[in-house]
Amino acid sequence: MTRDKRVSGGRKTGFTVVELLVTMGIISVLAGLLVPALGIAKEAAKRTVCASNLRQLGLGLEMYTLANDGWYPIEDLCGNPQDVLVSSLYPAYVPERDVFYCPSAEEIEPYAQSPEYGGPGGDSVVNTDENWERHYITYKYFSITRRDTRMPLPLRLSEYPHLLNSRSPSSRWLMSDWVRKNVPVFPHRELGGWGGGRNVLFADKSVRFVQHRTPHAFTERQ
């Protein structure tokens, strides 16, 4: 007569139910700690790429001014389409199309498309062939001839046209991540999805991250 042996050398084989539950609990806790950390790292990487894009655009604008008596391209409005800016920089000074698009564009696309935030909507900002052909990009450009009421750019009326050149004050904004009036989140969000901020290219060609709590975070004027 044979029997099923469940022990070998005095030791039980396999895990008990309690051991399995403890193991699963530990794994759940570790996963809960890891997922937010991965999200933070991913967003930090996007923000870094975005800043790099703006630096390249700043370099392209600087080279453009050298060939145009110190003047930057002059756009009609700071919103899409941005025909003059794109045509002035691409491909002569900025040969890569991806540089014109923030890696966080997909997250802010719903806000750009929505009519609830200071405009009719339809301001697509993602990197697609259709957007590229019509010069719809992610970034906002601030050397403009007239005020775009969708944008939080509270200059005095006497300051339009707002034409920037290589001698403009260093605090002036040349370009920034997408933003529009009353939008509740910025392109680069903080943990939990609220707040955040946007990268800004200044007239001195520096790029700085402006948090949503910073005074003038929504504005060009300093």
Of the CA atoms within 13 Å of residue 180, those in its CB half-sphere come to 25
Burial 180-217 (b: 16+ CB within 10 A, else e): beebebbbbbeeeeeebbbbbbbbebebebbebeeeeb
In whole angstroms, what is the distance from residue 74 CA to residue 93 CA? 16
Helices and strands, number each (H, E), in the chain: 4, 6
What is the reported pLDDT for 214? 80
> Do 142 and 165 touch, CB atoms closer than 8 A?
no
The domain limits of the chain are 46-211
Token code pair at residue 3 = 């029997």
75, β-bridge pairs: 144
Supply the pTM of this predicted model.
0.79
pLDDT (tens digit per residue) in 86-145: 999 999 999 999 999 999 999 889 988 888 876 666 789 999 999 999 999 999 999 999
**Which residues of the chain fall below pLDDT 50?**
1, 5, 7, 36-37
